[in-house]
Structure 1
Amino acid sequence: MTSPTLPHALGHVDVPRVLSIAGTDPSGGAGTAADMKSITAAGGYGMTVVTCLVAQNTTGVRAIHTPPLDFLAAQLEAVSDDVAVDAVKTGMLGTAGIIGTVGSWLDAHRPPVLVVDPVMVATSGDRLLEPDAEEAMREFCRRADVVTPNIPELAVLTGATPATDQHAAVAQAREWAADTGVAVIVKTGHLDSALTTNLWVGPDGITAEAPSRRVDTTSTHGTGCSLSSALATRLGAGDSPQRALAWTTDWLHEAIEYGAALHVGRGHGPVDHGHRARRLAAELEAATAEPGFFDRESWVGVGIEGET
């Protein structure tokens, strides 16, 4: 197991190759769809292995189809047989069988960075896994470099009651990190406060924290998927925990702010994963529209003159 005091030994990677192992969302806001958008936004090359086919949209889940485990294993091997993976993020695994299959593959093909989003409990408090799968997920999380539970999932990991304030959540995370050697991202978005803070908590306490202002919006579908994928990408690029957490928190805060403008769905809408790229494209378009931008005389002496 690599240390939760990343960056990993490979150092800086220009375009990290990041694998998402998760379920689907045909409405595009969560699961592998959100993961791919987040990985791209964070500067990575995204790949996906599908664990479950989920019929869902912004209003809820309608049905789940789980492909055979041998097909899941075939997907995993297809990636590792051909591509060097810099980081892996896991999301919805769903059953004890899926967790075991993914765990065996990870044991054989340990990535430099492993971020686990332990999808076990909905924000409403509803349990999403059967008891055997829940226990398997607790053990699976010990493989990670860092886990990203919500407040109810942190309680399941630690066997405690859900924390009601940041102090209690950090105490739970620190105890679990000390027992496992795995860092925990404490996300206070589910707590009642004007500020939301993401904290990197290890056995010795808080290593990094990134506060942001709470956004009054219903566009929060897929925030957990997006955070874990972006974090895995930045860590896979060689960022320190402090830098990776700060970048991810800042980007996701803006994505939540801009999400409502997408007008997607009638329920809890998605965040806008492409907000920064869209703004940069608009700024570039405005700049290139300036008179003289493409005049030949403007580029003399900057490596353009004389080239054919």
Structure 2
Amino acid sequence: MTKKIAVINDLSGFGRCSLTAAISVISAMGVQPCPLPTAILSAQTGYDNYYCDSYTDKMPLIRAEWEKMGVAFDGIYTGFLADERQVNQIYMFLESFLKEHTFLLVDPVLGDDGKPHSLFTPRLLEKMKELCFRADIITPNLTELCLLTGADYEELSQIGTPFLLMEVVAELGRSLFQERLHQVLVTGIRYTDEDGVDQMGNLFLSEKDQKLIPFPYIGGSYSGTGDLFASCIAAGIARGDTPETAAELAGEFISLAIADSIKEQVPRNDGVNYEKYLSMLAPS
């Protein structure tokens, strides 16, 4: 039977991110995505102008209908939240659908490149941190890890020794471990290796393991790559892959998409040309 993931995220008309990215990636990996929109946006928040229609008041209506249907999910994956009230809506969703066999992946969408996104508030950060503790695994980028732990992004980004940088990131990630949360996958860690090659690393942390999954840094910073990555992890877990294996596949997939986008000079806010590489995600 096809595995199912409830995907709680926004739908943006432009930007190749959020539900647009999640639905295509999760489907390509042989898993059924069941979207629950948190907001409808004309374009993702990195654009100079956008319209955002929050679905806070509509989320419980969708949840109630799904309850009537008696549906069940193998996983629940949360992404962009329009405001802190939506965390409470997610808690009610978890009460209905987070069962013993169901995993919860939280992608704490709070910011990037050292800056919070335009809808960020201190209250949203507080509520997002609480939600992370309820998760089985979270996928923050380095900016989001700093926001969740109170670390200084600029100080962290100036650490020149890769080994020391990874140890500091690992310590920050493990400081979040409590309740259900005992797996953290930190994405987008830029560093220079001992051979002088620029790398983009993803660091997987659990109570017993620590694994750096590096890829050559190609350049460019694009909308939606975090969504693509988290979607690969969620679908991978649902179909039986380990988080490490899913992260390796996600890294290869996104690296190809970024390289293609740089070649085609795609604007940052438009997201990456990932569509032509979806076939590599198909289950073997």
Q: Same fold by TM (over 0.5)?
A: yes
The question of 1:37 aligning with 2:28 is answered no
Q: Which residue number corresponds to residue 120 of structure 2?
A: 129
Q: Which residue number corresponds to residue 238 of structure 2?
A: 236
Looking at secondary structure, tell me which structure has more strand per residue. Answer: 2
2:239 maps to amino acid: A
Distance in 1, Cα, partners of 2:241 & 2:66: 24
Whether the aligned pair in 2 keeps the contact of 1:41 and 1:274 (CA below 8 Å) is: no
Whether the aligned pair in 2 keeps the contact of 1:181 and 1:203 (CA below 8 Å) is: no
1:200 to partner: Cα distance: 1.4
1:270 to partner: Cα distance: 1.8
2:135 maps to amino acid: A
Gaps of 5+ in 2: 158-164, 193-197
1:105 and 1:259, CA in 2 relative to 1: closer, same or farther beyond 3 A? same
1:34 and 1:100, CA in 2 relative to 1: closer, same or farther beyond 3 A? same
2:177 maps to amino acid: A
Gaps of 5+ in 1: 1-13, 281-308
Distance in 2, Cα, partners of 1:71 & 1:176: 31
1:132 maps to amino acid: R
Q: Which residue number corresponds to residue 210 of structure 1?
A: 213
Q: Which residue number corresponds to residue 294 of structure 1?
A: none
Q: Which residue number corresponds to residue 222 of structure 1?
A: 224
TM-score with structure 1 setting the length: 0.76
Whether the aligned pair in 2 keeps the contact of 1:34 and 1:226 (CA below 8 Å) is: yes
1:25 and 1:61, CA in 2 relative to 1: closer, same or farther beyond 3 A? farther
Distance in 1, Cα, partners of 2:214 & 2:209: 17
TM-score with structure 2 setting the length: 0.81
Output aligned runs, 1:1-308, within 5 Å. 15-56=2-43, 60=47, 62-67=49-54, 69-82=56-69, 83-110=71-98, 112-127=102-117, 128-162=119-153, 163-164=156-157, 165-177=165-177, 181-187=181-187, 189-193=188-192, 194-206=198-210, 208-218=211-221, 220-260=222-262, 266-277=267-278
1:270 and 1:139, CA in 2 relative to 1: closer, same or farther beyond 3 A? same
Whether the aligned pair in 1 keeps the contact of 2:76 and 2:98 (CA below 8 Å) is: no
Distance in 1, Cα, partners of 2:212 & 2:131: 25
Distance in 1, Cα, partners of 2:244 & 2:109: 24
The 3-state SS of whatever aligns with 1:98 is helix
Structure index of larger Rg: 1
- Number of matched pairs: 263
1:267 and 1:251, CA in 2 relative to 1: closer, same or farther beyond 3 A? closer
Percent identical among aligned pairs is: 23
